[in-house]
Structure 1
Amino acid sequence: MIGRRLALLAPLLFSLSAAAQDAGKTYALKKDDSSLTYKMKHPAHEVVGTAKPSDGKARLLPDGTLQVAVRANIKDFDSKNANRDAHMMEVTEVAKYPLVDFKGAASGVKPPASFPGKVPVTLKGQLTFHGVKQNVEIPVTVVFKSPTLVTTDGAFDISLEAFKIERPSLLMVKVEDKLVLEPRLTFEVEGK
């Protein structure tokens, strides 16, 4: 009787194990090892602000699809100038739109045969900023440091006006419309 039950359970356990493998790997963002940086240019100087992301996940499916979701609180960006940061929070209407959020995916992502290994990836998805959603493509380099640790490094441009943000000004001269975003993120396999 017990042997018969085990014989009936074996295919079920095998299919559950296969389903777990087919689900791929889920990675959690290591906030303390990650940063999001913005850069803006004004004729008098360059503005650089950095924040730790507030949340993030990545998932690598067996078919090579990489899914990524990352968000940050606008109020956390620090340019080392309190007046400038207050002005940025004003023009981005942080009370009304507190988050910048990205959700996207890439295909054809395969972990390397040995570690560390670099894989160039273009994430395609939606960036939500100031209550506006825009399609973006983000070229990043994914570095598989080990079977459980992954880093990404990249940069892409957005238009402040496309996100309906009034460009900040200094001495009545506005910053350029282009804002460069640089995500440097570290992810670790969940439950390792």
Structure 2
Amino acid sequence: MKNSTLALLATLFLSTSALAQEAAPAPRTYSVRSADSSLTYRLKHALHDVVGTARPTEGKARLLPDGTLQVAVRANVADFDSGNANRDAHMKEATEAPKFPIIEFKGLASGVKVPTSFPSEQAVTLKGQLTFHGVKQAVEVPMKVVFTSDKEVSATGNFQISLDAFKVERPSLMMKKVDDALDLETKFQLQEAK
């Protein structure tokens, strides 16, 4: 009698565990739509500000059932366009674009929830690593994430890095270097992958 009761309880436990696993939500994967997304840098100089924009070459975000968000985004350094070819050539030289062609960010955030109604906005802080000019630095990126529908998300953020920390020789104009601080603005449109 004891053995049959134990066997029945074990069967019920295993069945309940299997049902719970089947009901658990799956991770959601989103791809960055490059044509609708951008990375923009801003540099200050005593005489003027410099603004350059590039499209990300690739980007993915993965939202796990526990609310962990994993993000990876890349862009080509040579793709940044300020509207001035001479200035862009100087920036590519300063950042050694042929030697270090990629800028890349990989990061994590927690507590992200897929909403039940749309649009829905969440503040998220991505903590990760930025690779630029062959140097890896820890960065935190505050983001505004808007679930515009069940399948589409927009994410915008701003953060600042130090050119000196990334070992970039700061460009100069009329014997005056640009400021060390480089502001980065991200605007991403993401679509859930099928």
- Unmatched tracts of structure 1, length 5 or more: 1-10
Give SS of 1:87's match.
Answer: helix
Distance apart, 1:175 and its partner CA: 0.3
For the residues of structure 1 that align with 2:24 and 2:48, how far apart are their CA atoms?
51
Tell me which residue corresponds to 2:135. Answer: 132
Aligned counterpart, 1:187: 190
Instruction: Provide the residue aligned with 1:53 in structure 2.
Output: 56
Secondary structure of the equivalent of 1:56? Answer: strand
1:77-115 deviation digits (Å, cap 9, x = unpaired): 000000110001001111110000000010001122210
Match of 2:157 in 1: 154
Letter in 2 for 1:162: A
Q: Which deviations, in whole Å up to 9, do the C-alpha atoms of 1:93-144 show, x marking residues without a partner?
A: 1111000000001000112221001000000000000000000000000000
C-alpha separation between the residues in 2 aligned to 1:107 and 1:122? 8
User: 1:28 — aligned with what?
Assistant: 31
Q: Which runs of 5+ in 2 are unaligned?
A: 1-13
TM-score of the aligned structures, taking structure 2 as reference length: 0.88
Number of the residue aligned with 1:42: 45
Q: Specify which of 91, 113, 117 is matched with residue 120 of structure 2.
A: 117
The offset of 1:31, in angstroms, is: 0.6
Q: How far, CA to CA, are the matches of 1:97 and 1:164 in structure 2?
A: 12
**Closer/same/farther in 2, CA of residues 140 and 30 from structure 1, 3 Å limit:** same
Amino acid of the structure 2 residue aligned with 1:77 = F
Residue 141 of structure 1: aligned partner: 144
Structure 1 ranges of 4+ moved more than 4 A? 15-22
The residue identity in structure 1 corresponding to 2:95 is T
Question: Equivalents in 2 of 1:16, 1:100: separation in Å?
Answer: 44
Q: What amino acid is the match of 2:100?
A: Y
Q: Aligned with 1:152: secondary structure? A: strand
CA drift of 1:19 comes to 6.2
Q: Which amino acid aligns with 1:49?
A: G
Mapped pair 1:108 → 2:114: no
How well do the aligned residues superpose, as a CA RMSD in angstroms?
2.0
Q: Give the structure 2 partner of residue 78 of structure 1.
A: 81
Q: Percent identity?
A: 61
Distance 2:152 2:185 in 1: 20
Corresponding residue of 1:66: 69
Using structure 1 for the length normalisation, give the TM-score: 0.89
- Determine helix, strand or coil for the equivalent of 2:165: helix
Q: How many residues align?
A: 180
Note closer, same or farther for the CA distance 1:53–1:133 as it changes in structure 2 (3 Å cut).
same
| Cα 1:67–1:50 shift into 2, 3 Å | same
> Partners of 1:20 and 1:43 in 2: how far apart?
59
Quick check: which has more Rg, 1 or 2? 2
